[in-house]
Structure 1
Amino acid sequence: METKMLRWTAGVTRLDRVRNDTVRQKFVVAPIAEKLREARLRWYGHVLRANDDTVRKIGLNLEVPGNRPRGRMKQRWLDTLHLDDRKNWRHHARRADPATMRDRR
């Protein structure tokens, strides 16, 4: 829906074959995935700063007894958060490491 509104504002249709990234860059809008990642990390910081007896802190560390059902495991909120953190860490590590800059040349 977001991209549809941006395209409408820019006067660009799908028939014009303009990429979504180009439309987003024109309006200087970050992708929704980035905004969601920022919101998750912001909420996680909020939860970590809370007292240990609050519901959100207890729920974060809650271990549910029993086995998980067969099949592909459903992704939990903390799993998603760790993936976000890992991607962010890799990005900063590559920028800080001069060896990776040499490899790009």
Structure 2
Amino acid sequence: MRMLRWMCRHTRLDRIRNEVFREMLGIVSISEKIKEGRLRWFGHVKRRPTTAPIRVVETLIVEGKRSRGRPKLTWDVRIRHDLTELHLSKDMVQDRDSWRRRIKFSDFLGEDKGPEDEAATNSDYQHDEDCGTLVEKCPWIFDGVSIYD
């Protein structure tokens, strides 16, 4: 967030909420990207055979007591919350391409990335287009700045 504020020439002293910067620059929140990574890993684990060491851990029972206070949110419970939030089921994991499309959060708001757009994402043209939107929104960032200095 510090970098986004810097790009827009604001500091924490200006008391502007993070959501305002994300919306202004069109950037998805970090929690959405973390959720995407968590669900991607979940898909990877579920596609493994049940005899794989990573799947054996699912059935382990840990002995002992938990510490005092509120119980920690386990990975399994967090995944269940994410699945219900995105209206997904554990059965959808087996079709890898469909799963990746369903859990994908684009890096920029309003950007629609389908499987046919994957190749365009890596091209220089697409990268220049994304930078162009930042230049339009925060032109002072690129004033007299050269990457070759």
Shift of 1:21: 0.8
Residue matched to 1:41:
39
- How many residue pairs get aligned? The number is 86
Q: Which has the higher contact order (CA 8 A, sep 6+)?
A: 2
Shift of 1:16: 2.5
Higher mean C-alpha deviation, range 34-43 or range 80-89: 80-89
Shift of 1:27: 2.0
The TM-score normalised by the length of structure 1 is 0.69
Runs of 5+ consecutive residues of structure 1 not aligned to the other structure: 90-105
Query: Aligned partners of 1:6, 1:76: CA distance in 2, in Å?
Result: 32
More helix by share: 1
Residue matched to 1:98:
none
Shift of 1:26: 2.1
Q: Identity percentage over the alignment?
A: 35
The TM-score normalised by the length of structure 2 is 0.51
**RMSD of aligned C-alpha atoms?**
1.8
Shift of 1:30: 1.0
TM alignment of 1:9-88, pairs within 5 A? 9-64=7-62, 66-69=63-66, 71=68, 72-88=70-86
Structure 1's consecutive aligned runs of 4 or more residues displaced over 3 angstroms after TM superposition are none
Higher mean C-alpha deviation, range 43-52 or range 9-18: 9-18
